[in-house]
Amino acid sequence: MGCKTHLYNLFSSHQRAPLHTHFIDAGAVFFPAAFFLFGLVFGSFLNVCIYRLPRELSVVSPRSFCPGCSAPIAAYDNIPVLSWIILRGKCRNCGTRISPRYALVELLTGVLFLLSYFAAGSMVEAVKLCVLSFLLIGLIFTDAETKLLPDLLTKPGIALGLVFSLLVRVEGPAQFFFRTIDNWRIWSLVNALAGAVLGSAFILGVALIYEALRGVEGMGRGDVKLMALIGAFLGVKQTLLVLLLGSLIGSCFGLLLILRVWVKRLARRRRKIPSEPAGQARRRAWQSATLIYRNFEIPFGVFLGTAALVAAFWGPALVSWYLNFF
């Protein structure tokens, strides 16, 4: 019970009403364990989605199989996280290496489901956070591996975000513009719609401007739908935070990527042309490193999805921390 209270206080900055007394007492052990275990199970299903959706395969049938030998995976070899550890990341049938991504997705989903329970002010809100986490983890890892954001995750996600706005209040400016309407569900739905429109419109605008200036597509339309999903779940204020954090994380990643390539190409130039002046070698290596963006597609959905998870759990605390400076 003390652990529950301590973790719950970590999220007190959300300014949500405390969980119902029965929800706290009865769930001291059972509910956290149930959320974590359900997260592991849903994480296992997410691995199926991440592998099959980009390949346009059914996520229902056939049953899970080894990507190396296509042999069906037995139920006792399909236990989330544990099976990967016991088998040491290899297929029992053919010995093909199984990516640690499978265990990571399962464990991450379980942890985020558990955090959803502790961060929520009600069971419905906990479920909403679980659904958002499920969708974002699937989209983050799919984009990282394939540079794709499947419509089968983004489009239903947008609809679910709007539906949840009728069950869990989404804060925003609607109550100030529609003062004659005294219904929080209508305000919440309008705020969710505004968040979806704002997020998608911003990304679409940036994509169109980049395409007009450079003549090539700089951002896929999947990112537009991803931001509509995020906006529908989080509303206007948190959507702005996601755009800011996502751009910051993406910029840091891009800079680190260029620096890494620059170091490698500078070392290569010094090996091949030892007589070249150091300043000239650094300059030419940098010019070569900055050209990687012509052939390397950065999965921006990874950064937007990561920023959305941060905003969903710690967004209000971050905004309050920032506003304290003013």
- In angstroms, the CA 171 to CA 191 distance is 7
The predicted pLDDT at position 28 comes to: 79
- In angstroms, the CA 203 to CA 139 distance is 17
- Domain borders along the chain are 1-146
Q: pLDDT tier at 225 (50, 70, 90 boundaries)?
A: very high
Reply yes or no on whether the pLDDT at 290 is more than 50.
yes
Residue 213: alpha-carbon gap to chain centroid: 29
Share of the chain above pLDDT 90, in %: 50
* Cβ count near 35 (within 10 Å): 24
The predicted pLDDT at position 295 comes to: 66
Q: pLDDT tier at 6 (50, 70, 90 boundaries)?
A: very low
The predicted pLDDT at position 24 comes to: 52
Taking residues 299-303, report their average pLDDT.
92
Contact 224, 161 (CB under 8 A): no
> Which residue has 């405390």 as its token pair?
18
Reply yes or no on whether the pLDDT at 106 is more than 90.
yes
pLDDT tens per residue, range 120-176? 989 999 999 999 999 999 999 999 999 999 999 999 999 999 999 999 999 988 777
Q: Concatenated DSSP letters for 283-298?
A: HHHHHHHGGGGGT---
* Cβ count near 86 (within 10 Å): 12
Higher pLDDT, 199 or 285: 199
Taking residues 300-305, report their average pLDDT.
94
**pTM (2 decimals)?**
0.85
Q: Concatenated DSSP letters for 246-267?
A: HHHHHHHHHHHHHHHHHHHHHH
Reply yes or no on whether the pLDDT at 2 is more than 60.
no
Higher pLDDT, 39 or 92: 39
Reply yes or no on whether the pLDDT at 22 is more than 60.
no
Reply yes or no on whether the pLDDT at 226 is more than 70.
yes
Reply yes or no on whether the pLDDT at 321 is more than 90.
no
Among the listed residues 204, 247, 237, 200, the one whose alpha carbon sits nearest the alpha carbon of residue 312: 237
Among the listed residues 284, 53, 261, 280, the one whose alpha carbon sits nearest the alpha carbon of residue 155: 53
